[in-house]
Amino acid sequence: MTRRPAIDARAIHPFHLSVTQAGPPRLARHPKDGWRLADPYPLSANARRVLHAVVRAMCPPSPAPRSYDLMHRVELGARRLLRYMHPVVARCLELGLFVLDWLPILTLSSTLRLHALGSARTSALLARWSHGRIKTLRLLMQGMRGMILSAYFDQSEVHAAMHYDPVAFMHERVALRKKLLAPALRGAE
Amino acid sequence: MLSYDDYGKDTVFDTDVVVVGTGAGGAVAGAELAEAGRDVLFVEEGSHHPTSSFNPYLTESIPRLYRDGAATVILGNPPIPYAEGRTVGGSTVINGGMAYRAPERVLEQWARSTGIDALGPRALDPLYERVEKRVHASLQHEESIGNDSRLMAKGALQMGWKTTVNRRAQRACAGANNCGFGCPTGAKQSTLVSYVPAAFAAGAGCLTDVRAERLIIEQGRCRGIVGRAIDPATRRPSHTVTVRARAVVVACGAVQTPYLLLRHKLGRPSRQLGKNFLCHPNAKVLAIYPFDIEGWKGVSQHTQIREFTGDGILMAENFVAPGALAAHLPFHGAEAWEIMQRMNQMLISGVLVEDSGSGTVSRSLFGMAEARYSLTELDHRRFLRGTKLLAQMHFALGAEKVILPFSTFPLARNVDDLARLDERSAPREALDVFTVHLMGTARMGSSPRDSVVGPGGELWDLPGCYVADASLFPTAIGVNPQLTVMALATHVASRLELAREAA
């Protein structure tokens, strides 16, 4: 049997302790378990401007939930997700934002860059490129849509508008599981 | 269990066996070895997230639990996004927990084609039994079954199709339907709550937040691994963590395992390392009904339609969270909202196809694993057939419309629309597929001429280095692979031999 080094695998570090503690599920956003969400991906000012335009064009218009704060959270969520992607993939998406910005001019669809167009016009162009012939562009649009819509449809006010309330349901199910387990636990006693 | 802040500069550990990965393969091999008295140290790239931290929010669960923010794609025609777990418990934390044995015909073929009796149904039977007992493979409790599952079963019955009720790795599952983001009740018996605690109880340790980057090879034998701790704030690799060991078990999954091994140009005798990549591609078929189903209430998948498995087609319901669902729709803006606001009236079903072709995994110039796979003509036809059959079932049940997985043919409003669905209207490149079953890149065999590892899971050209994950599969199995990965990992653990002494 070989020996471990000086660091004990059961050592108690403040961060480590909070991560490993167990207990009943709280089902809350940002559970205080010591885990740190990474900082948002450091996009250039231009890329942020384009992302801002794409977020506004891709997120559903009113009567769907839509507010400045909501759009800001979606944008932040997308930038955080970029941080967790492989650096090459994140860089490709950043480059993709640059390409999308110039695409209206390059395809003679407009005299303005994407970030300067209105939301409705941007949305129409994005839809056209999503179903276009160029595979790489379709893949880029799929990536953008995934990154943005997954963040939008994860927000509480959007859940409420869809009559989707997973937390209340999960609390019910935690109680149901206790009930299902009770006979086995009584038997064990 | 240690995490990022615990590592000093250039920390070195010493152990009997280092196991890279804590998923269905690594956790099982590690627990078996620890219980057999070996000193075991796991190395896990992800962090440790206990049951109490799980919640239904995608924007937090994806960064916590998934590799590369789930932005992972197999390149080819069509490109196939895939998802893998990156957390203590690996993909077992985020999968549906289906506990199926590989079909007997598949295992018989494995034994025949590889010449390894241990891969046959009779030899694997006791291993399956052992694993099933440890993960409580069992049927769902009646109260956990949701309306979507009941409707799907009704549809299959109406069409006269054969179905099977899922056995799942669960203990008193109440159907919280959060399998993809971690089970918040602790019912799903992922390795996080089954094998990993068992390994710890037997004295194993775990280094979390460490990505294994290379093997230590000395005098022709594998003597450990060198990894880098990942800074949680920037996700950048920082200081080096070294683990010296008398044997190394690589269990990083069918993409990351060959990626690690190819760094050392291993698998030379057969040149099969990274080849034979299989992925059970699957596609979603969403049906919108004129009544409420609330598919998010109840177990994520209760029944599978097995009528067409002989033709390589498996069908089932599988609810996913709204964020994940919207990400896969071919729409955005108002169109996406029109569909998503009816989520409560939606039945999400899917078609899984047993691969008739294979792909490759290699190391790209950009420092990432590059998976390539193109759907065969046969599999494309299988998708067309499976999609059409499922859509017909939904219309027979009264669905208003069905969203199909083809960018050129995204919507069917009635059965007549389906008549136009063919190879021309829905070509292969327009298919929107996804996968979570990655297999076969370091196949097991009895000869170094046509396989990567021998009958005990040890690399032919690197003694002391074992593989214990889905990479070992010689072929696709057509059903959920978790139980087979666990059975093979149990087999590998039983055959592992330590070097006489550490170098």
pLDDT for the residue A21: 44
**Window A:123-162, CB contacts with B under 8 Å:** 123, 126-127, 130-131, 135, 138-139, 142-143, 145-154, 158-159, 161-162
ipTM (interface predicted TM): 0.92
Which chain A positions have a beta carbon within 8 Å of B177's beta carbon? Answer: 166, 169
pLDDT, one tens digit per residue, over B433-465 is: 999 999 999 999 999 999 999 999 999 999 999
pLDDT per residue as tens digits for the range B332-347? 999 999 999 999 999 9
Please compute, for residue B247, the number of CA atoms within 13 A of its CA located in the half-sphere on the CB side.
Answer: 26
CA distances for B350 relative to B297, B315, B354, B411, angstroms? 18, 6, 13, 15
Report the pLDDT value the prediction gives residue B99, as an integer from 0 to 100.
97
Compute the CA torsion angle B72, B76, B79, B82 (nearest 10 deg): -40
- Say if residue A75's pLDDT is above 80: yes
Chain B contact for A84 (CB, 8 A cutoff): yes
Q: Is B296–A169 a contact, with Cβ atoms under 8 angstroms apart?
A: yes
The single residue listed with the structure tokens 């044995």 is B101
pLDDT tens digits, one per residue of A142-171: 999 999 999 999 999 999 999 999 999 999
pLDDT for A14 beyond 90:
no
CA of B191: how far to CAs of A19, B63, B129, B386, B486, in Å?
A: 17, 19, 16, 33, 10
| B323 with A154: Cβ contact below 8 A | yes
pLDDT at A45 over 70: yes
- Interface contact flag, A61 B334, Cβ < 8 Å: yes
pLDDT class of B397 with cuts at 50, 70, 90: very high
Residue type, A83: R
pLDDT over 90 for what percent of chain B?
93
Instruction: Give the residue on A whose Cα is nearest the Cα of B77.
Output: A135
Other beta carbons within 10 angstroms of residue B289's beta carbon come to 19
Average pLDDT over residues B254-268: 96
**What value does the CA radius of gyration of chain B take, rounded to a whole number of Å?**
22
A106 to chain B nearest CA, in Å?
A: 23
Q: What is the pLDDT of residues B119-145, one digit of tens each?
A: 999 999 999 999 999 999 999 999 999
Mean predicted confidence (pLDDT) in B303-323: 95
- Average model confidence (pLDDT) across chain B: 95
What residues of chain B lie within 8 A of the CB of A148, using their CB?
Answer: 332
Indicate whether A15 pLDDT > 80.
no
Give dist(CA B138, CA A184) in Å, integer: 15
Is B211 in contact with B230 (CB distance < 8 Å)?
A: yes
Element (H, E) at B18: strand B11-20
Q: Which residues in chain A are closer than 8 Å to B12, comparing Cβ atoms?
A: 5
Out of A123, A139, A163, the one facing B332 most closely (by C-beta) is A123
pLDDT tens-place string over residues B141-197: 999 999 999 999 999 999 999 999 999 999 999 999 999 999 999 999 999 999 999
CA-CA distance, A22 to A158, in Å (whole number)? 30
* DSSP-derived 3-state class of residue B226: strand
> Residue B53 corresponds to which tokens in the numbers above?
């931290």
List of residues 6+ apart from B402 with CB closer than 8 A = B285, B286, B287, B288, B390, B391, B394, B395, B411, B412
Residue A77, pLDDT score: 94
DSSP code, position B459:
B
Which residues numbered 63-82 in A keep a CB inside 8 Å of some CB on B?
Answer: 64, 77, 80-82
**CB atoms B326 and A60 under 8 Å:** no
A166 and B337 within 8 Å at the Cβ level: the answer is no
Beta strand B465-467 pairing with B303-305:
unpaired
| Per-window interface: A 22-61 vs B, CB < 8 A | 22-31, 33, 35-39, 57-61
Residue A1 has pLDDT above 50, yes or no: no
Q: Model confidence at A26, in pLDDT bands (50, 70, 90)?
A: confident
Contact B125, B154 (CB under 8 A): no
Strand partners, B459: B453
pLDDT tens-digit readout, B54-94 = 999 999 999 999 999 999 999 999 999 999 999 999 999 99
| pLDDT at position A20 | 40
Give percent of chain A above pLDDT 70.
86
